[in-house]
Structure 1
Amino acid sequence: MAHRIVVVGAGYAGLSAAKRAARGLGGRVAVTVVNPADVFVERVRLHEVAAGAPAVDLSLAETLADRRVAFLRGTVTELALAGRRVAVATTGGSHELEYDTLVYTAGSTARTGCVPGVAEHALTVSGAADTAAARARLADLTDGAWVTVVGGGATGIEVAAELAETHPGLRLRLVTDEELGGWLSPRGRAHVRSALERLGVQVRDHVEVVEVAADGLVLDDGQVLSSDAVVWSVGFDVPSLAARAGLEVDRSGRVRVDGTMRSYSHPEVYAAGDAAAMGGALGGELRMACATALPSGRQVADSIAARLAGRTPRPMRFSYAFQCISLGRRDGLIQFLHGDDRPRDRVLTGRAAALFKEGIVRSALTFTRLPGPLLPS
């Protein structure tokens, strides 16, 4: 009987794990992927989609079928770890899947519970449904309307720049409680700031939002910023599913895994991508990013294959090289990094950086669809 692998989630990590395992192990495994949506969400382009660009239309059932991977559209409601079962709610009722190995790649969602009013009044850009809602709301705004983007990380910067370039009639501001681009090199920070200024985005850093209302937001000094729309881009949360099931998780709810992506508490479970707390080869934890989701998904497949063959899998040896930030369609920043994610002095900017990032984004989608052969152990 084939070894049953159930993959929870079909983002970059889940798809690469499922397709790589099915390709490398063939008839020795039966792989099933469970996901709430029936299309792949190209998350690194969601800022473009929010501004009006079309979303990628990649059917999960079709792209998985070419590797003979089964697909079930539904929401996982329970992980019964003792019995190795997954409960799934679908439009047609409830289902239960049995597994020999579980791959947990449930991803992350926008962090909306940290400030009053965010969940009720703010727009987010973290998945297909919330991005579609943000796109519709922003498209309805008339020239002169104020849009406030909260969050000075890569997502907030990309959203603000994309909206400013695509909708020049809108008035954009970006608010963050830290220094804008504080994790970048001095040259990188300077370019981000100058690009946003060129696009007409007002930047307010070192200020904290304490409440979001229907007509704007309130800062920690009591100042009220009127806004016709607020886009909230302040970090990500992970589903509570893993913690509720009893998997060992970190303080944020991510599954704690070893270097082979195997759960510390349940050896029949692997986790990858945003839902996993992964240690870097050079120390520290890997951040949530497509750059870490893809290799961790591939690592899961390689680790499973090695253990099924009675071999000890090699741990993942990932190190950072660069980070890409879009600043509209004609500008960008490529921040080159040390392997441990510290910024180097070297950056690439302007049109060349925009083309560089576009190539990386396209290659990420290609690697998701064609994850390559298993590595020998």
Structure 2
Amino acid sequence: MNSTPVEPIQVVVVGAGYAGLLAANRLLGSLSDAETRRVRLTVINPTDQFVERIRFHELAAGTRQSALVPLDTVLHPAADVLVGRVEVIDPDTRTVQVSRPGRSEISVHWDHLVYAVGSKASAAIPGSRENGFLLGDLDGAQAAADAIRRSGDGARIVVIGGGFTGVEAAGEIAEQHPRSSVVLMCDGALVPTMRPAARRSLTKGLRKLGVEIHERAAVTWIEPGKVVLSNGQVEKADVCVVATSFTAPDLARTSGLAVSADGRLRVDAELRGLDTPRIVGAGDAIVVSDPLGDHLRMGCAVALPLGGKAAETVLAQIRGEEVKPLSIGFQAQCISLGRKRGYIQIVHADDSPRRLHLGGRLGARVKESVCKMSVAIPAKERVKPGAYPTPKGPKQKIRS
């Protein structure tokens, strides 16, 4: 008797950042033997390297020479890697069009797609791309390192942005280049999301490193060798490092998918696209259109658990099981101040601060261990799915 051949199931993961890496590893690591014979997973990424974005401030300061990890050392061996850039997602034909460096464009079929394209640095300040260095992008961080090294002793290095990234960049650069003048400019208060005691501690730590802090100093224009503030004041800047906000790629919008005003893919509480349930989102490039996701923000601390949840949603769809809504909470906010100091703010599940915190050298050690685990544990998902623990989300009212 001839048995009917079983059709393979093609899963495509677009993006191999924190969310995409964990999604691919957890999904493949969770398959049964029978499922392994059916499921084919392809990761499409612009490079064959995993990029440690949380290390960009170290890269810019010259603390480390690279923020790249070969993808094949952390990705499940059953995953196929296609180096290229997805230009269009077609939910009707279930295909993606992929451009490849030096080669012709190809079409790739998918039955389930994980949208994990991440984010990129915003160039909202005029002149930031031409006359500054965007710290949120790999090439910007590398170029900043080169410019700082060439600037020599006595250079005035201006860091724009008073959030976590700006604070870390200013502290790291000041520690590595003590003979330079490092200036941190914030359009509002320093790290306004943190409690006053935390802001005072961070301010004190930065000043110990020699950082000059200008709060409520909004930069409206960046010119060669200087920045222009909203009050018309002009400040010298031999090197200008821009550590402001992030923005999502346009892929979801140009593909005609349901997006938010800022271009992020809109998903439900199970991470399914609002009008394309076989497209499952994870990471910085999505927004959860449900109160269960109201507290989530861009960043590695959210991208990793979203990647795990995306894998679970796709697995449930493959198996014909009920898809459970997400429950993702926070435990801490971590900031480094160079290599010797750090600040760890313990938080509630909704990211609001508790009174507990760690500082100084202990804080620095904890922050470094978190950075290392952000790569090591997703890699461990290859053989131990669920290795990355996800704290439960804040309590919510019963959904109607």
- 2:284 counterpart SS class: helix
Tell me if structure 2 keeps the 8 A contact 1:281–1:319: no
Tell me, in whole angstroms, the C-alpha distance in 2 between the residues paired with 1:75 and 1:166. Answer: 35
The answer for the alignment partner of 2:78 in structure 1 is 68
2:53–2:67 CA contact under 8 A, matched in 1? no
Equivalents in 2 of 1:130, 1:5: separation in Å? Answer: 32
SS at match of 2:204: helix
Whole-angstrom distance in 2 between the partners of 1:81 and 1:283: 24
8 Å CA contact retained: 1:22, 1:67: no
Deviates more, 1:145-154 or 1:336-345: 336-345
Q: Distance in 2 between matches of 1:4 and 1:282?
A: 29
1:187, 1:345 within 8 Å by CA — same for their partners in 2?
no
Q: 1:325 to 1:318 in 2, by over 3 A?
A: same
TM-score by length of 2: 0.90
Contact map agreement 1:302 1:374 (CA 8 A) in 2: no
Q: Deviations over 1:37-70 (max 9, x none)?
A: 2211011111111111132442224533x43100
Distance in 2 between the 1:54 and 1:272 partners?
29
User: Paired residue for 1:109, among 120, 138, 142?
Assistant: 120
Cα distance in structure 1, aligned partners of 2:238 and 2:44 = 37
Contact 1:280 1:317 in 2 (8 A): no
Pair 1:2-2:31 in alignment: no
| Residue 373 in structure 1 maps to residue 385 in structure 2 | yes
**CA-to-aligned-CA distance 1:125-146 (integer Å, 9 cap, x gap):** 2232222112111111110111
Q: Work out the CA distance in 2 between the residues paired with 1:63 and 1:2.
A: 25
Q: CA deviation at 1:347?
A: 1.6
Check conservation: 1:187, 1:347, Cα contact below 8 A: no
Q: Choose from 92, 99, 104 the match for 1:93.
A: 104
Unaligned runs of 5+ in 2: 1-6, 388-400
Computed over aligned residues only, the root mean square deviation of the Cα atoms, in angstroms, reads 1.6
Which residue in 2 is equivalent to 1:331?
A: 341
How much does 1:280 deviate?
7.8
Q: 1:40 aligns to what SS in structure 2?
A: strand
Instruction: Report if the CA contact (8 A) 1:279-1:286 is conserved.
Output: no
Contact 1:149/1:172, CA 8 A, preserved across alignment: yes
Match of 1:219 among 198, 219, 229: 229
Other structure's SS at 1:340 match: coil
The one-character-per-residue Cα deviations of 1:148-173 (angstroms, maximum 9, x if unpaired) are 00000000000000000011111100
Aligned-residue offset at 1:369: 1.1
> Aligned residues, how many?
373
**Aligned pair 1:142/2:148, yes or no?**
no
The aligned amino acid for 1:361 is C
Q: Give the structure-1-normalised TM-score.
A: 0.95
Q: Which residue of 2 aligns with 1:123?
A: 133
Q: How does 1:134-173 map to 2 (within 5 A)?
A: 134-173=144-183
CA shift at 1:338, angstroms? 1.5
Cα deviation for residue 313 of structure 1 reads: 2.0
Say whether the 8 Å CA contact 1:334–1:347 is kept in structure 2. yes
| Displacement of 1:373 | 2.0
Task: State the AA in 1 paired with 2:114.
Answer: V
Identity within the alignment, %:
37
Contact 1:322 1:336 in 2 (8 A): yes
Q: Which moved more, 1:264-273 or 1:277-286?
A: 277-286
Aligned to 2:330: 320
Aligned counterpart for 2:204 among listed residues 188, 194, 212: 194
